Amino acid sequence: MLGLGCPKQAFAKIATPRAYPTKKEIALGLLKEFKVAHSLIKIKGVLADALYGEKAFMDEAAKESGGSQVISQLRKNQNIEYRGRIRSVESYFNSINKGIDQIIRVRGGKEIKVTVSSARLKVSSHSKKGFVIALKYDGENDYRYLVATDLTWRTQDIIQAYTLRWLIEVFFEDLKLYEGWGREVKQLDEEGSSRGLILSLLFDHCLLLHPEQIARIESKLPAYTVGSLQRKSQMDVLLEFITSLLEFPDPGDKLKELGELIKDVFQLMPSGKHMIGRDLGRLGPTASLKYCSAG
């Protein structure tokens, strides 16, 4: 399964289609490259968020992936055709095809209750039939609407496949939060985000060589998360530091020496948002200039 999302920092500002391709064009280009580079992998589905729920993208993605299932989302006000009448997808599922409760498995693991209804309907903007699904998770008030290109799949299979799209959000979380490439990047724009992405992938590969991660993989168990491995590695370094410190003849003196080094490396900087000691000028009217505003 290939998941697509919309990381805002990953694309340059659009000026012209030729110089700056759209996100959909970039996604299709990546799909083509993946197919060439990994020709032995069979793509069963392409999962994309609502940005990619257009006919041109979904048709091309299905073609480039070898006729696989393509699943995206529709807006609630998008039109469908039912028995010769055009109505919004929200109106159709609220009045004609109301949902029923069922259990689905999220990403092959936890089972949850959802409310679902589905139909093979002509989507007006796609000019053809799609497998349209109204989906509401337990505890939610509003439905979301999925659309799939392959009409031969079951409703449950489409829903469970689409839960896999969230994995791309986990990748973004690792990239920005745990690995720090989002908040620590020094080089901006397209080249900067690309280098941050490369560093993130290299970091992920390094963590695959962590002894405890290797043991999980060899035992055919789910790998540990980037965040937990990072915290574990940080604590290992701290414990190693304490152990090496205690081996010195006078640990106290050595600790003071290291404390001075820390002060030099991690210097506290004055905040630019606190204005104490700044000369801001008089910031008030001047009596001799009051006539200048007359008229």
Could you tell me the CA-to-CA distances from 266 to 179, 257, 263 in Å, in that order? 20, 14, 5
Q: Band of the pLDDT at 10, cuts 50, 70, 90? A: very low
- Report the domain count for the chain: 2
Whether pTM exceeds 0.85: no
Q: Which residues pair with 120 in a beta bridge?
A: 131
Tell me the C-alpha distance between 51 and 39, whole Å: 27
pLDDT in tens, 31-46: 999 989 998 988 889 9
The percentage of residues in the chain with a pLDDT greater than 70, rounded to a whole number, is 82
> CATH number, domain at 83?
3.90.350.10
Q: Choose one of 107, 138, 170: the last residue of a domain.
A: 170
Range of the domain at 57: 2-170
Instruction: Say if residue 19 is in the same domain as residue 164.
Output: yes
**209, pLDDT greater than 80:** yes
Instruction: Say if residue 235 is in the same domain as residue 111.
Output: no
Instruction: Say if residue 41 is in the same domain as residue 148.
Output: yes
Count Cβ atoms within 10 A of the Cβ of residue 159 and give its class: 0-12 exposed, 13-18 middle, 19 or more buried.
Answer: buried
Rounded to an integer, the average pLDDT of 21-33 is 89
pLDDT in tens, 64-118: 888 889 999 999 999 999 988 999 999 999 888 888 888 888 887 788 899 999 9
